[in-house]
Amino acid sequence: MKTTLHTAVVLIAVLLTPFALAEGNADAGKTKTAMCGACHGADGNSAAGAFPKLAGLGEKYLDKQLQDIRSGMRSVAEMTGMLGALSDQDIADIAAYYASQTRQLSGSQDNSKQLTLGEKIYRAGNLETSVPACTGCHSPAGNGNTPAGYPALGGQHAQYIAKQLRAFRTGAHDSEDPTARNNDDVKVMRSVAARMNDQEIDALANYIAGLH
């Protein structure tokens, strides 16, 4: 009986090993990000609102996004062909490096009415339209949930956040639209963004940009 159990455990371990994610090395990743710096900044803090800040987003989240972009599951025109030559280990190392960097705040635009709406959605959601609070996944301070793979949002560019929310909303209604984003696990973000209007999206994005 003990022999059979031991054999089964060993067999399971062998079967699962090929599917284990590569362990990232931040030091190795730093040397592999030269091509990324022009858009995302050397330390992952991009200066332009069109390009996301990668610093401190979370290793698991970054690894998944890079894998999805490389496979085509997530379409990012600016990244076309840039990841094709990278191995799983390269991607893991790059994710580990950017996750280890400190995220800088973008700062919100000084619009008190918009900030009030954005804070309300982030912390309480919208009961009338069944939009849940963002804090459940992304934390009250916007630091995300690294083990779960939920990204840190606080300090991200408002322009980028708004664009992604609209992409998720499009994905919820028309997955074939080239602007759609469909790579969220179990359609979590699509189900949220599908119920949000443009005013809410812009207000939320502006609030998150200054969240810390």
Kindly report whether the global pTM for this prediction surpasses the value 0.95.
no
Go through the domains of the chain in sequence order and give each one's CATH number: 18-99 (1.10.760.10), 112-209 (1.10.760.10)
Q: How confident is the model at residue 106 (pLDDT cuts 50, 70, 90)?
A: confident
Quick: pLDDT tens for 133-189.
999 999 999 999 999 999 999 999 999 999 999 999 999 999 999 999 999 999 999
How high is the mean pLDDT of the chain? 91
Decide: 24 and 96 in contact? Cβ < 8 Å: yes
- Please tell me the predicted confidence (pLDDT) of residue 15: 40
- Please tell me the predicted confidence (pLDDT) of residue 21: 61
Decide: 157 and 106 in contact? Cβ < 8 Å: yes
- Please tell me the predicted confidence (pLDDT) of residue 20: 52
The burial class, CB within 10 Å (0-12 / 13-18 / 19+), for 92 is buried
Res. 211: pLDDT tops 50: yes
- Please tell me the predicted confidence (pLDDT) of residue 22: 79
Res. 2: pLDDT tops 50: no
